[in-house]
Structures are given as structure tokens and as C-alpha cells.
Amino acid sequence: MKDKLTLTIDADLIPRAKAFARGRGASLSSVVEDALRNLAGEPPPSVVDRWAGRFELRERPDDPRFRALVSKYVHEDDAC
């Protein structure tokens, strides 16, 4: 869960920070969050951790490949 945070930062730094984030294909919020995690000694979350639980599976009973992937990679309580 994300919460909003207001920061006071030197006005000259803001455009450079935005450009830095843009150059990495990230939001300024995610760059700040990653920096704070790094300072706190906390490893960054994996891609799986960031996206886990954000998608719902559609039922596809006629697709055997889908059923095989569900049985291999999805926890039983999350399966369709």
C-alpha cells in the first residue's frame, strides 16, 4: 500500500531529479523510494513482489496450456 508524502526540496534540484528519473524510465517517486530503501539497507522488491496480486486470472477451461501454467505457477488458493 502506498501513502502520499510531501517533501521540500531545493527548487534547482527538482528538474534535474525529474530528468534523472525520466532517463531511467522511472517516476521520481520510485527513484526516491528506491533511494530510501537503499539508505535503510532494505533490498529493493523483486518484480514478482511488486506485481503479485495485481492481476486476476480469467477462466480458460478450453486451453490446456493455460491450465498447465496455472497448475505449475499459481498457488491453489489463487487458481481459477
Q: What is the pLDDT of residues 6-43, one digit of tens each?
A: 999 999 999 999 999 999 999 999 999 989 988 999 88
Tell me the H-state helices in 5-60: 13-23, 28-39, 47-51
Nearest-CA neighbor of 52 among 18, 78, 15, 16?
Answer: 78
Helices and strands of the chain, counted as H and E runs: 4, 0
Q: What is the pLDDT of residues 69-79, one digit of tens each?
A: 888 888 665 54
pLDDT value, residue 72: 87
Q: Are 59 and 80 spatial neighbours (Cβ–Cβ below 8 Å)?
A: yes
Residue with the three cell numbers 513482489: 49
Q: Whole-prediction pTM value? A: 0.53
